[in-house]
Amino acid sequence: MNEELHKLLIVDDDETFSHVLARALGSRGFAVETARDADSAIVTARRQRPSSCVLDLKLGENNGLRLIPDLKAIVPDMRILLLTGYASIATAVEAIKRGAHDYLAKPVDADAVARALLDSDSGQADEEDLAEAPGAPLPLRRLEWEHIQRVLTECDGNISETARRLGMHRRTLQRKLSKHPVRERPAE
């Protein structure tokens, strides 16, 4: 690999996670820059022109999905890996539609991130692959989570509009969003 393939931008508002991941990927041959918000990510991308980006879905009050087209406009062939602690099929599909190459749920280790960034043979995931249902029906709480995530994505992360469309109080929606998603399959 040439040096250009190793330039990496990590965009995450969690300073500790970002620092640990940057050190781990740095030891794996990446030249790593970090940014804690969308504005500094744009500035860093313009200055460094990284070939890859690890982007967190939640950047404080902002949504990392909104940043994907801006980063792709700066470096069109940038490989973007979206990370989130709030994984859902709806956000995975939306991330791919906006130009992300891969999507991983936190917690994730540096080896998985490196594999996702360096595996150029796999190409973009198909929406059908992401939306494939598990063998057993999803639990009701998981279906609710998926629906909330889909509506939230349609509203570009606007909590008030999402709550209005779902017919629930804004605080109730925020409480549901602050919880980690339910497991896809009941424990056996």
Domains of the chain: 3-130 (3.40.50.2300), 133-178 (1.10.10.60)
- Spatial CB neighbours of 172, under 8 Å, sequence gap ≥ 6: 163
Helix (H), strand (E), coil (C) string for 147-179? HHHHHHHHCCCCHHHHHHHHCCCHHHHHHHHHC
Task: Read off the pLDDT band of 136 (50, 70, 90).
Answer: very low
- Choose between 33 and 136: higher pLDDT: 33
Strand ranges in 43-87 using DSSP code E only, listed in sequence order: 52-56, 58-59, 62-63, 79-84
Q: Which residues fall within 8 angstroms of residue 75, CB to CB, at 6 or more apart?
A: 45, 49, 50, 51
* Contact call for residues 45 and 9 (beta carbons, < 8 A): yes
Per-residue confidence band for 143, with pLDDT thresholds at 50, 70 and 90: low
pLDDT at position 183: 52
Q: Please determine, for residue 38, whether its predicted confidence score (pLDDT) is greater than 80.
A: yes
In this prediction the pTM is 0.64
C-alpha distances out from residue 94 to 10, 12, 21, 36, 87, Å: 20, 19, 25, 22, 12
Q: Rounded mean pLDDT of 139-162?
A: 79
Provide DSSP, 96-117: HHHT-SEEEESS--HHHHHHHH
Confidence of residue 46 (pLDDT cuts 50, 70, 90): very high
pLDDT one-digit tens code per residue, 86-127: 777 777 777 888 888 888 887 788 888 888 888 754 444 443
**What confidence score (pLDDT) does residue 139 get?**
57
As a residue count, the chain comes to 188
Pairwise CA distance, residues 46 & 73, whole Å:
10
Q: How confident is the model at residue 4 (pLDDT cuts 50, 70, 90)?
A: very low
Check: CB of residue 165 under 8 Å from CB of residue 155.
yes
pLDDT at 75 over 70: yes
pLDDT value of residue 186: 44
Nearest-angstrom CA–CA distance, 5 and 52 = 8
* Average per-residue pLDDT for the chain: 78
